[in-house]
Amino acid sequence: MDMVTARNRSVHDENVLDQRELRGVCGLFVTGVAVVTSQAGGVPVGVTVNSFTSVSLDPPLVLFCIHHKSRLWPVVKEAEAFGVNILAEDQADVCRVFATKEHPHFSMVRSRAGRTGTPILDEALGYLECALHRVIDGGDHLIVIGRVVDLGIQREDGPLTFFRSGHLRLEI
């Protein structure tokens, strides 16, 4: 077996990677932190994510990734809309609140209904309100793409960041 064949075999062997090691290496990438929100049937739901990014300016598209068993996904699917609330450096408590499975999350923050009825967190740095555009299967996660229908900057502070399972303060 030549070196290229041996290397390709290991690359395509799905059992090669340890999930903890993968999480550790991915944790070296500094990300921002956001709370993705939606509402259906009058019940608001929000979940902390660090898998958010812009996709396109024309058309205006953003995405986030969510576990396919997340409590948020059925609500986004029904509402066909969601909000991305970008957290400020002093909002680690908001991050933790929306990262837990206990309810009620919205009793601990101020929010308002956006253009689509999606909850927008009043104290977030900024927000993007989106109409559901497309969903792509991504293994145990869904890649949810939204078309931005409204947005705003609400504060001028630094962002909340995530690195190696903790929060860092950026010097700006």
pLDDT, one tens digit for every residue, the chain (172 residues): 454 544 454 555 566 666 676 655 555 545 678 999 999 999 899 999 988 999 999 999 999 999 999 999 999 999 999 999 999 999 988 988 998 877 667 888 999 999 999 999 999 999 999 999 999 999 999 999 999 999 999 999 888 876 444 445 545 5
Measured CA to CA, the distance from residue 85 to residue 154 in angstroms comes to 10
pTM score = 0.81
Measured CA to CA, the distance from residue 164 to residue 28 in angstroms comes to 6
- Which CATH superfamily does the domain covering 33-162 fall into? Electron Transport, Fmn-binding Protein; Chain A (2.30.110.10)
Cβ–Cβ under 8 Å, residues 132 and 82: yes
Rounded (5°) CA angle 155-158-164: 135
What is the residue extent of each domain of the chain? 33-162
Cβ–Cβ under 8 Å, residues 36 and 66: yes
- Tokens describing residue 56: 């396109």
